[in-house]
Chains A and B, each alone.
Chain A
């Protein structure tokens, strides 16, 4: 620890003003602040500051993502084993999973952080840690078979167009991870949807449950799914084909608990999105033409299939792209849930509706906030006006200055 401190101090001389690499100081600073909370002093305003900072916020989200990552890695190997009819041990499965997961996350971080560092150097501000979370999210919402070159292009698009042109973390309108996902979806639909992409198996077809459910039939849909190996419990545990981190509802639930207990994730958004999704499902169930139709898919299946749970816990709660006011969060979350189920069920081209719903609501979040804030402005004005009327006192004369 002391050694590292000394090493960093020694290196710092090269990056500070008049050093060899002055311009790269933000990059150096990023590493240093990742290792240490620096003894930077308050210079004005409050002399003391809460120990909580944006890095700790991001670290908490990453911790919350670990269960889904672990099951996701295992599931990559597991799906391959099931589909190819192989026999593999636990560690072999993990090994298979890591073989896929590590290149994906390495490429995502390398490209994304590369852009972040470049913008930080050009703009001369500190590197924001936002991408530590975004990068992790991206790796978890792509299929394990995603071609890495596509990832490079999509991550570049997501970071530059989705975030940096707005001014970087905190200024962006859309969730960068979802921008990446949407980019992949529309630019390379063949590699992120359809039958062949979900299992690392060299071209053997395997549909995801949502795609199966979208086909429709006369027998109850839950039975159809169970017959295909997508029973509720398989889906809940997450041993089904899908994007790397999205399949396991229980792992996502663990993450949700951490986010809620730590206060980092907004319970308002999670709760209202759940209500929105459940409500919409019940409405659709009521109007479903046949028990085997996708509209008849029961609520508990909706919650464990596809990206709904993942989107609810990790995507909708992104504080930057969600509504900022507490009242706005209820509206935002509710509409996210409602739209996610609506898109998923009524538009068979996009069985994965949650991500698109959130992107769509990202666009409306500022509008929702605008009306919440306006109503506050009006309320305060009315109170001040009522007070002036009830006491009969005229506002005092304007100052002479």
Chain B
């Protein structure tokens, strides 16, 4: 087990990290499952507003793969089925009431692919599995070549793996065992060199790898690229977040659906910065504690500042997310800001004094774009922060030109939005890299 050392990348040092203690958050009044959290999903509702559901009752399922069910994390009443553009479902909200649980047939994690798969589909935990290429909801009919688990996170303010794992070592080991039944290849678990992982020897095809380096060393796309790169459209692997492995492990270890999860509450404007134990899809108020802030001055983000989703103060933690970040919205213009020395501004560029005087020092950041959108001007810097060996700005240009053969050659199958988030962060032309990537992935999904 060699350590893979990565040089290219950049760590964004932000203030507002969560204290390394886990508290129990009050039970949420409501939870929601949000179809936009899953790319490729077309949700068909299985319940109506006003229906009573148990923990584990399907709320909706996928139109393409009907066996993929999305279940309620709690028992209660469906209060809202919200719809957005073209009547696509955006969230299904359940008000928590009672603690009735659907009885599930839970297979032995070593009981073979079909049994494990059936349990995952029935329980509503299958959606934790994301397919690469295209970073979409996995297709249960495909046996993935390998499964990748990132037991590390190098994004700014990301939760630490040790805390997410604390007390749940057995769930992790069982989760990996269940995943091991799903693939004909290996379950690749990647973590930072210092992290103590539970013993995975019970899973014959589990392999542990160590990755060291600046962000995006912790991205699963980076791990796939360095361990067993994707050869093309038909070379399917699955990925599963640490949160997913723990939920799956808890199901197989206890025989019942366990919707609890740990979420880091962080960011400069978070009232209490710490880790909380809460429920999947919980409404954010109970997670945060303290008084709600004015959304005009504070941005609520489910996830980390690079890739997270903006939510309202009455919004819900995303299905895949293990953190909630509250950042100050930018309000004041900076007079002649592009020409001043910049002693306290966060930047990778050496044109700022802060890069010289206090390198790596955590800095407070707002949601400012810090400029206006331009055509690509700077060159070479994007590759310098990409852990994948590709030419990111050329890939972006091929997506903008909708040139699919070119996109394939330049590596579109190897990436998801998060893999170019750092390019977007440093981009002096303020180009929307993640949005372009999303468009490219959707184009391929449609056309190919």
Residues of A contacting B350 in the complex (Cβ-Cβ under 8 angstroms)? 261-263
Please judge, given known A-B contacts A324-B393, A393-B184, whether A36 and B333 are in contact too, CB under 8 Å.
Answer: yes
Least distance between B444 CB and chain A CB atoms (Å): 11
Question: A37 in the interface, Cβ–Cβ < 8 Å?
Answer: yes
Q: Which of A51, A384, A387, A401 is the one whose CB lies under 8 Å from B64?
A: A401
Residues of A contacting B330 in the complex (Cβ-Cβ under 8 angstroms)? 39-41
Report the nearest B residue to A58, measured CB to CB. Answer: B338
Q: Is the CB–CB distance between B380 and A39 below 8 Å?
A: no
Residues of A contacting B348 in the complex (Cβ-Cβ under 8 angstroms)? 50, 52
A266 CA / B383 CA spacing, docked (Å):
14
Kindly specify which of B23-31, B71-79, B251-259, B422-430 makes contact with the partner chain: B422-430
Residues of B contacting A173 in the complex (Cβ-Cβ under 8 angstroms)? none
Q: Is the CB–CB distance between B367 and A325 below 8 Å?
A: no
Q: Which of B139, B229, B331, B414 is the one whose CB lies under 8 Å from A39?
A: B331
Residues of B contacting A323 in the complex (Cβ-Cβ under 8 angstroms)? 379
Residues of A contacting B139 in the complex (Cβ-Cβ under 8 angstroms)? 399-401
Q: Is the CB–CB distance between B370 and A54 below 8 Å?
A: no
Question: B305 in the interface, Cβ–Cβ < 8 Å?
Answer: yes
Q: Which positions 356-377 of chain B face chain A at CB distance < 8 Å?
A: 365-377
Q: Which of A48, A59, A262, A319 is the one whose CB lies under 8 Å from B379?
A: A319
Residues of A contacting B234 in the complex (Cβ-Cβ under 8 angstroms)? 395-398
Q: Is the CB–CB distance between A41 and B428 below 8 Å?
A: no
Question: B306 in the interface, Cβ–Cβ < 8 Å?
Answer: yes
Question: B432 in the interface, Cβ–Cβ < 8 Å?
Answer: yes
Residues of B contacting A384 in the complex (Cβ-Cβ under 8 angstroms)? 229-232, 235
Residues of A contacting B235 in the complex (Cβ-Cβ under 8 angstroms)? 384, 388, 395-396
Q: Which positions 161-194 of chain B face chain A at CB distance < 8 Å?
A: 184-185
Residues of B contacting A55 in the complex (Cβ-Cβ under 8 angstroms)? 338, 371
Report the nearest A residue to B365, measured CB to CB. Answer: A48
Kindly specify which of B142-150, B271-279, B315-323 makes contact with the partner chain: B142-150
Q: Which positions 254-310 of chain B face chain A at CB distance < 8 Å?
A: 299, 301, 305-308, 310
A395 CA / B383 CA spacing, docked (Å):
28
Q: Is the CB–CB distance between B185 and A46 below 8 Å?
A: no
A396 CA / B368 CA spacing, docked (Å):
44
Q: Is the CB–CB distance between B421 and A46 below 8 Å?
A: yes
Contact with B along A126-141 (1 / 0, CB 8 A): 1010100000000000
Residues of A contacting B333 in the complex (Cβ-Cβ under 8 angstroms)? 5, 36-39
Residues of B contacting A400 in the complex (Cβ-Cβ under 8 angstroms)? 139, 141-142
Please judge, given known A-B contacts A319-B379, A373-B394, whether A49 and B430 are in contact too, CB under 8 Å.
Answer: yes
Contact with A along B397-414 (1 / 0, CB 8 A): 000000000000111001
Question: B48 in the interface, Cβ–Cβ < 8 Å?
Answer: no
Q: Which of B306, B310, B373, B435 is the one whose CB lies under 8 Å from A126?
A: B373
Residues of A contacting B229 in the complex (Cβ-Cβ under 8 angstroms)? 380, 383-384, 387
Q: Is the CB–CB distance between B143 and A396 below 8 Å?
A: yes
Question: A118 in the interface, Cβ–Cβ < 8 Å?
Answer: no
Residues of B contacting A263 in the complex (Cβ-Cβ under 8 angstroms)? 349-351
Please judge, given known A-B contacts A46-B306, A373-B410, whether A51 and B370 are in contact too, CB under 8 Å.
Answer: yes
Kindly specify which of B112-120, B241-249, B339-347 makes contact with the partner chain: B339-347
Residues of A contacting B314 in the complex (Cβ-Cβ under 8 angstroms)? none
Residues of B contacting A167 in the complex (Cβ-Cβ under 8 angstroms)? 375
Question: A47 in the interface, Cβ–Cβ < 8 Å?
Answer: yes
A169 CA / B374 CA spacing, docked (Å):
8
Q: Which positions 124-176 of chain A face chain B at CB distance < 8 Å?
A: 126, 128, 130, 167-171
Question: A326 in the interface, Cβ–Cβ < 8 Å?
Answer: yes
Question: B434 in the interface, Cβ–Cβ < 8 Å?
Answer: yes
Q: Which of A168, A376, A395 is the one whose CB lies under 8 Å from B232?
A: A395
Q: Which of A42, A268, A326, A379 is the one whose CB lies under 8 Å from B369?
A: A42
Q: Which of B301, B346, B352, B380 is the one whose CB lies under 8 Å from A266?
A: B380
A49, A262, A319, A326: residue with the most chain B Cβ atoms closer than 10 Å: A49
Please judge, given known A-B contacts A262-B351, A380-B389, A397-B234, whether A35 and B335 are in contact too, CB under 8 Å.
Answer: yes
Report, as a range, how many residues of chain B touch the other chain.
Answer: 35 or more
Q: Is the CB–CB distance between A376 and B390 below 8 Å?
A: yes
Please judge, given known A-B contacts A47-B367, A396-B145, whether A391 and B335 are in contact too, CB under 8 Å.
Answer: no
Q: Is the CB–CB distance between B365 and A319 below 8 Å?
A: no
Q: Which positions 217-269 of chain A face chain B at CB distance < 8 Å?
A: 261-264, 266, 268
Question: A56 in the interface, Cβ–Cβ < 8 Å?
Answer: yes
Residues of A contacting B376 in the complex (Cβ-Cβ under 8 angstroms)? 170
Q: Is the CB–CB distance between B391 and A50 below 8 Å?
A: no
Question: A1 in the interface, Cβ–Cβ < 8 Å?
Answer: yes
Question: A89 in the interface, Cβ–Cβ < 8 Å?
Answer: no
Q: Which of A45, A48, A264, A396 is the one whose CB lies under 8 Å from B432?
A: A45
Q: Which of B331, B349, B433 is the one whose CB lies under 8 Å from A50?
A: B349
Residues of A contacting B185 in the complex (Cβ-Cβ under 8 angstroms)? 391, 393
Q: Which of A54, A266, A329, A399 is the one whose CB lies under 8 Å from B142?
A: A399
Question: A320 in the interface, Cβ–Cβ < 8 Å?
Answer: yes
Contact with B along A175-188 (1 / 0, CB 8 A): 00000000000000
A53 CA / B352 CA spacing, docked (Å):
11
A35, A45, A130: residue with the most chain B Cβ atoms closer than 10 Å: A45
Least distance between A168 CB and chain B CB atoms (Å): 7
Question: A20 in the interface, Cβ–Cβ < 8 Å?
Answer: no
Residues of B contacting A59 in the complex (Cβ-Cβ under 8 angstroms)? 338-339
Q: Is the CB–CB distance between A325 and B370 below 8 Å?
A: no
Q: Is the CB–CB distance between B327 and A47 below 8 Å?
A: yes
Least distance between B419 CB and chain A CB atoms (Å): 12
Q: Is the CB–CB distance between A52 and B352 below 8 Å?
A: yes
Question: B2 in the interface, Cβ–Cβ < 8 Å?
Answer: no
Least distance between A347 CB and chain B CB atoms (Å): 31
Question: B87 in the interface, Cβ–Cβ < 8 Å?
Answer: no
Residues of B contacting A57 in the complex (Cβ-Cβ under 8 angstroms)? 351, 377-378, 428
Report the nearest A residue to B429, measured CB to CB. Answer: A54
B301, B335, B372: residue with the most chain A Cβ atoms closer than 10 Å: B372
A323 CA / B368 CA spacing, docked (Å):
31
Report the nearest A residue to B431, measured CB to CB. Answer: A45
Q: Is the CB–CB distance between A320 and B347 below 8 Å?
A: no
Residues of A contacting B394 in the complex (Cβ-Cβ under 8 angstroms)? 324, 369, 373
Besides the contacts A48-B327, A376-B391, A399-B131, what 12 more A-B pairs have beta carbons closer than 8 Å?
A41-B330, A45-B421, A47-B310, A48-B365, A49-B369, A54-B428, A56-B338, A377-B409, A380-B390, A384-B230, A393-B185, A396-B145
10 contacts between A and B (CB under 8 A): A51-B345, A52-B426, A54-B374, A56-B338, A56-B349, A57-B351, A387-B228, A395-B232, A395-B234, A396-B236
A-B pairs with lowest CB-CB distance, top 7 = A170-B375, A53-B371, A37-B337, A52-B349, A45-B434, A384-B231, A324-B379
